[in-house]
Amino acid sequence: MALSNEQKLALFTNIVRAMTLDQMMMRLIRTGRLVGFYHEGGVALAPSVASGAFLRKSDPSWPHLRGHGVAHMLSRGVDVKPYFAEHMGREAGCCKGRTSFHMSFPEFHMWGASGNIGANFPLSVGFGFAAKRKETGQVVMNCSGDGSYAEGRAHEALLMASLWALPIVFWCENNQMSQHSALADVFPGVRVSALAPGYGIPAKVVDGQDVFACGEAALEAVAHARSGKGPYMVECLTVRCHEHSVGSVNKAGVMFRDPEQMAAWCRDLDPAKLAAARLIEDGVATEADIAEIQARAAKEPEEIEAFCNRSPATPPIEDLVKAVYAA
Ligand SMILES: Cc1ncc(C[n+]2csc(CCOP(=O)(O)OP(=O)(O)O)c2C)c(N)n1
């Protein structure tokens, strides 16, 4: 399915915003202002930005953990300021700054990425079943990494979604790593989407560095599921050009992957740069248009940080214990 110029510009705007905010998170954690740890998105955010671009507000979706789902949230039009405030331990946070990064946005039917990787698969089946039974017309967007597909519940979900022809998009953001394990070491076969035909589910593999290819796949997958034809799988092939997370203890200082290879990916596979070149080449935008979009995105971190800083941090102990139900 072809994208309109307007849709391409929206995808481009959001990949620039997502990558800018990802770097903001990295600055926050490196300067001790972000509580906990952060899973850098880097050059792997194009699939995330496309995932929610063609959903309706009432469609349930699950972000993937990478980049803490910010790119998924932007794609759905969520205001991410309270989410940043939550990360910074501020009262203005989604949960008054008392938690971590597993936040839900019920108004958008966007549910928190679970700390339990793969937990969304059975829940997607539940949402899909309800949508079909109640004839709501909703589509469920089940985002995950490749890691979840090594779990039994992902396979049960694929089977049930197919048997009952549920309106679910299985959106796999495959960076070929799960934490410190390479996909090739834990997964038989070359492609996660090779599972789909076995379950009778149509599937598509796309270049995860190409935000427009990801967008076209999202458009097609959502239209398929919405039309009552059952589930659809999209595998977006991307890379992780840094270690799994920042902020967790690494006493041994071990690097699990080749730093030179990762630096080359960061340099050569930047989806925002690739998309900008395409927009200019195809006459969809001028250099000045691109610069304007980049300048607007560059201002966002300041606005978000000002919002967070206006809100008090570190509540008194009496207030903190009010949120503790058992100890
Ligand atoms: C059930 C479960 N097993 C293990 C973990 C530890 N863990 C956290 S993130 C992660 C990697 C997940 O890989 P993938 O879904 O491919 O996402 P990626 O980090 O590569 O973006 C793992 C194994 C967990 N959180 N939950």
Average confidence (pLDDT) over 105-132: 95
Inform me whether the pLDDT recorded for 327 exceeds 80: no
Residue 40 Cβ < 6 Å to ligand 1: no
Residue 239 Cβ < 6 Å to ligand 1: no
Average confidence (pLDDT) over 17-45: 94
Helix axes of 211-226 and 5-30: crossing angle, nearest 10 degrees: 110
DSSP structural state of residue 246: B
Inform me whether the pLDDT recorded for 146 exceeds 90: yes
pLDDT of residue 316: 73
**DSSP per position, 67-102:** GGGHHHHHHTT---HHHHHHHTTBTTSTTTT-S-S-
Average confidence (pLDDT) over 289-313: 96
Q: Provide the CATH number for the domain formed by 5-247+256-320 in this structure.
A: 3.40.50.970
Inform me whether the pLDDT recorded for 103 exceeds 90: no
Quick one: which of 45, 76, 24 has its CA closest to 298? 24
Dump pLDDT digits (tens) for 52-82: 999 999 999 999 999 999 999 999 999 999 9
Q: What is the pTM of this model?
A: 0.95
Is the model more confident about 245 or about 287? Answer: 287
Residue 60 Cβ < 6 Å to ligand 1: no
pLDDT of residue 86: 92
Please, which pLDDT band fits residue 251 given cuts at 50, 70 and 90? low
Q: What angle do CA 112, 34, 299 make, to 5 degrees?
A: 90
**DSSP per position, 250-318:** -TT----S-HHHHHHHHHH--HHHHHHHHHHHTTS--HHHHHHHHHHHHHHHHHHHHHHHTS-BS--HH
Dump pLDDT digits (tens) for 203-215: 999 999 999 999 9
CA 4 to CA 223: how far, in whole Å?
Answer: 16
pLDDT of residue 101: 82
151 CA: nearest ligand 1 atom:
1
Residue 115 Cβ < 6 Å to ligand 1: yes
Q: Domain limits of the chain?
A: 5-247+256-320
Distance of CA 311 to the CA centre of its chain: 27
Indicate the average pLDDT of the chain. Answer: 94
Average confidence (pLDDT) over 267-284: 98
Residue 82 Cβ < 6 Å to ligand 1: no
Helix axes of 287-309 and 271-281: crossing angle, nearest 10 degrees: 150
175 CA: nearest ligand 1 atom:
20
